[in-house]
Amino acid sequence: MKQAAALFDLDGVIVETAHFHYIAWKAIAQQLNFDLTPAHNEALKGVSRVASLQQLIRWSGTTISSDTFEHYLEEKNKHYLELIKQLNPADALPGVVDTLSLLKENKIGIALGSASKNARSILERLAITSFFDAIIDGNDVQNSKPDPEVFLKGAEAVGVAPSNCVVFEDAQAGIAAAQAAGMYAVGIGTPEVLDKADRCIPHFNALTPQVLLNLFER
Ligand code: B16
Ligand code: MG
Residue-wise pLDDT for 88-132, tens only, equals 999 999 999 999 999 999 999 999 999 999 999 999 999 999 999
For ligand 1, atom 1: residue with the closest CA: 116
Which of 14, 16, 21, 143 has the most ligand 1 atoms within 8 A of CB, as the residue to mutate?
21
3-state helix, strand, coil in the chain (%, to 5): 50, 15, 35
Q: Which residues are catalytic?
A: 9, 11
- Reported as a pLDDT band with limits 50, 70 and 90, residue 63 is very high
* Number of structural domains found in the chain: 2
Residue finishing a domain among 27, 62, 86: 86
Q: What is the pLDDT of residue 91?
A: 98
Q: Checking phi first, is residue 189 left (phi over 0); if not, alpha (psi -120 to 50) or beta?
A: left
Together in a domain, 111 and 193: yes
Beta-bridge partners for 5:
109, 165
CATH label of the domain that carries residue 58: 1.10.150.240
The whole domain housing 32 covers 18-86
Residue 165 and residue 64 share a domain:
no
Percent residues over pLDDT 70 in the chain: 99
Q: Are residue 142 and residue 67 in the same domain, yes or no?
A: no
156 and 54: one domain?
no
Residue 1 has pLDDT above 90, yes or no: no
- Whether residues 144 and 180 share a domain: the answer is yes
Single residue among 86, 102, 127 that ends a domain in this structure = 86
Residue owning the nearest CA to atom 5 of ligand 1: 46
- The answer, yes or no, to whether any atom of ligand 1 lies below 6 A from the CB of 44, is yes
Q: What is the CATH number of the domain that holds 207?
A: 3.40.50.1000
44, 114, 116, best to mutate for ligand 1 pocket (most atoms within 8 Å of CB): 116
pLDDT tens digits, residue range 44-61? 988 899 999 999 999 999
Burial degree of 64 (CB within 10 A; 0-12, 13-18, 19+)? middle
Nearest ligand 1 atom, CA 10 = 20
76 lines ligand 1 (CB under 6 A): no
Q: What percent of the chain clears pLDDT 90, i.e. is strictly above it?
A: 94
Q: Alpha carbon of 90 to those of 97, 119, 126, 170, 209: distances in Å?
A: 10, 17, 7, 20, 21
Q: In which element (H, E) is residue 184 found?
A: strand 184-188
Q: Is the CB of 122 under 6 A from ligand 1?
A: no
